[in-house]
A and B are shown apart, each in its own frame.
Chain A
Amino acid sequence: MRHGVRPLRFVMSSLTVAEMEARKIRHDSSELWTRAVQPALWLLVFGEVFNQIRGLAPGGMPYIEFIAPGVLAQSVLFISIFYGITIVWERDVGLLTKLLSTPSPRSSIVVGKALAAGVRGIFQAVMIFALALVINVNLRLDPLDIALVFVVIVLFAMCFSSLSMTLASVLKTRERMMGIGQAITMPLFFASNAIYPIQLMPQWLRYIAVLNPLSYVVDAMRSMLLTGDYSGLPLDMLAIALATLLFITTASVMLKRLIE
Chain B
Amino acid sequence: MLASKVVGKVPRNLREKIRKFLAKQPHLPYVGPFSLWIVLFVIAPLGVILYFSFLTTGAYGGEIFPIFTLEHYLRLWRGAYGIILLRTLLFAFGTNIVCLLIGYPMAYCIARRGGRWKATLLFLVIIPSWTSWLIRLYALRTIAGFAGIINSTLLSLGLISSPLGILFNPYAVMFGLVYAFLPFMVLPIYASLVGLDPSLLEASVDLGATPFRRFLTVTLPLTKGGIFAGTILVFIPALGSWLVPLLLGGAKVMMAGNLVHLQYMTVGNIPMGSSIAVVLVAVVLLIMYLSIKLGGEDALERIL
A binds B: no
Chain B residues with a Cβ under 8 A of chain A = none
Chain A residues with a Cβ under 8 A of chain B = none
